[in-house]
Amino acid sequence: MKLFGLKNCDTCRKAIKQLPKIAFVDVRADGVPVAVLHRALGQFGDSLLNIRSTTWRGLTAEDRAKPQIELLQMYPALMKRPLIDCDGALYLGWGKEVQSALGVC
């Protein structure tokens, strides 16, 4: 299992604490593999982008118009977190549904 997130993100920290065997990938330092981004965009669509973030608010209208994959590669903090890859299945966020799904994983 891999968790893609930010080391300073409280939600990511909670997930890491409850999933001790998870491999953490800091998206600012290491990025997210393009293949994982494509799968996540295909599965979650627009909900993968955090348009309430300070990063989003700081973008110009020209930047916001770029393709989502390009935005996520340029600004990895735009991705909603955490993104968890568990044996090929992707989960976004750390809500009760994700927690219960990963309890058996």
**Catalytic residue selected from 9, 12, 86, 105:** 9
Q: Is 9 known to be catalytic?
A: yes
Q: Is the peptide bond before 82 cis (omega within 30 degrees of 0)?
A: yes
Which tokens belong to 77? 């903090």
Which sequence positions are flagged as catalytic? 9
